[in-house]
Structure formats: C-alpha cells, structure tokens
Chains A and B, each alone.
Chain A
Amino acid sequence: MKTSAKKTAQTALFSAIALVIYVLESYIPPIVPIPGVKIGLANAVTLISMYIIGAKQGLFVTVIRIILGNLFVGSIASLLYSMAGGISCFFVMLLFKKLLNLNQIWAVSVFGAIAHSTAQIVVAIIILNTPSLLYYWFVLLVSSVISGAFTGLCSAYTVNALKKSHY
C-alpha cells in the first residue's frame, strides 16, 4: 500500500489546521446555554480533506484532531463523546458524499452534523443512564441543521476554490 508524499503532507497539514480550529473554537463563548451546541468548525476540515485528499486521509485527520484536541482543551471523559460523534459523522458524510453531487456539500455536512449529535446523545444515554437526554437530542437536531449547513457552505467554497487552483 503506497501513499504519495503529497497526500501524506496534505494529511498532516489538514490535521494541523483542524486542530488549531478546534482549539480556537473552544474559546468562543457558547451561544446557547446547552452543552453540545456549537458551530463545529473543525468538522469542516474533515469534510474538505475527504473531498480534496481522500476518504482514508479524511478519517486520519478526524481521529488525530479528536485525540490531540481533547488532550489540549478537553478531557479524557469528553474523548469518548468526541470520538463517537466524530467517527459516526465521518462515515455518514462519506455515505452521503457518494449519494449527492459536488454542489450539495452543504447537505452532506448537515447529515454529518445530525449523525454527530445523535451519536453523542446515544453515548451519553448509555453512560449517564438518563432518559431526560431526549430533550437535548431534539435541541441538538435543530442546532445541527443550522451549524451543519453553515460549516457545509464554508467547506463547499473551500473545496471549489482548491479544486480550481489545482491544489
């Protein structure tokens, strides 16, 4: 199995970008007083690398960002939530990337965001054993649609610009 030097370098670059965005985003004060509601800008980098480099590298970027990101600003406890969210988000986005065309990156991102919050709620219900979390799931659904569309549009513009520049 050979991976070109270019792809390796790109994966490293995108991982670094994702990590910086993840850390910076943690400094943005929450808009709504509900844990879990956030913009999820780092996920845009996952989406971009999936389109620009490839699926496998996109997964690398996601996993590296989650592990290092939680070491920098999160905690070991939040690692499990992030991992469940990030991985399911990745595979749902990969699926919809195949189903939808290049003009619909924003929708791929929304599906990913929904998968992300749903997976986190499922993990939380298993760990905390509180059915009251259903309330948060509904709230997160709404926030996922909004934030997913936003980060999706950001990614779409970036992917198109990168493809045009023969990056």
Chain B
Amino acid sequence: MKNKTLAMIFAGIAVLGVAGAKHAGRIHTEKPVALIYENGKLIEQIDLTDVENDYKIELGGNTVLVEKGQISVIKANCPDKLCITQGVISNGAKSIICLPNKVEIKIKDGTKIDNLDAVTG
C-alpha cells in the first residue's frame, strides 16, 4: 500500500469520527433524568424537566448545578477540573466524569426509566 493511500484512509477515518461525534452529540433525549453517582453508588436521581428554579447540590468535592433540562459541575476541588470543562450536559450522548472524586453524572431518557434498574443494579 502506498503512503498516500494510507493517509487518505486515515483522513477518511478522522472525518468519519468528527461527523459521527457531531451527530451522536446532538441526539435528543425526550425526558432527561440526571443520575448522579458517587463511588459507584446512585445518590441522586433528578427529573430535569421538572426543575423550576436552579439549585446546587454539594457533593464531597464537587458542586453540581441543576437547571431546567441541563446539569453541570461548577466547582471542584481537584487540580485539573476536568469535570467543569466537560461542560453542560442535556442529553444521553455525553456524561460528566470526575475521576479523582469518583463522581459520575449521566442522563437517561425518563420514558425508558424501567430499564434503569437493569443498568444501575
């Protein structure tokens, strides 16, 4: 195989990756329910469509901001603050993960909530 062919294949894979990530990141979640895990245990389950006023949740080392339809981490005591830069999440495509504090926030579709036990248990 020629170098040029290989470069073309890799460029194609990279383009596919960018397009795929854009597409997968845009999926719409009908009824977003945020699940907050600490040390692998589910500690909060919030229906984001029901949130009227924004509020904060204090975890061991992180502060979570809950808003209507979206959730984010706004404060962290770890040095790299990756969970903050992972930004605001509002659908099931992305999750927020803080490795040092073992916190994970993900969003599930509330209409499929029956499957939740299978996922978390």
Contact = CB atoms under 8 A, between A and B. Distances in A.
Interface residues of B, number: 27
Nearest to A135: B24
Q: Which 3 A-B pairs have the closest CB atoms?
A: A141-B17, A138-B20, A142-B17
Interface string A123-159: 0000001101011011111100110010000000000
Given A99-B1, A104-B6, A132 B20 contact: no
Interface of A: 29-30, 33-35, 99-100, 103-104, 107, 110, 114, 129-130, 132, 134-135, 137-142, 145-146, 149
Interface in B1-16: 1, 3, 6, 10, 13-14, 16
A33 B118 CA distance: 29
B92 A132 contact: yes
A142 B21 contact: yes
A135 B80 contact: no
Contact of A141 (B20, B86, B93, B118): B20
For the residues of A in contact with B, the DSSP-based class is: helix
B111 interface: no
B97 interface: yes
A30 B80 contact: yes
A141 B13 contact: yes
Contacts of A140: 17
Contacts of A149: 10
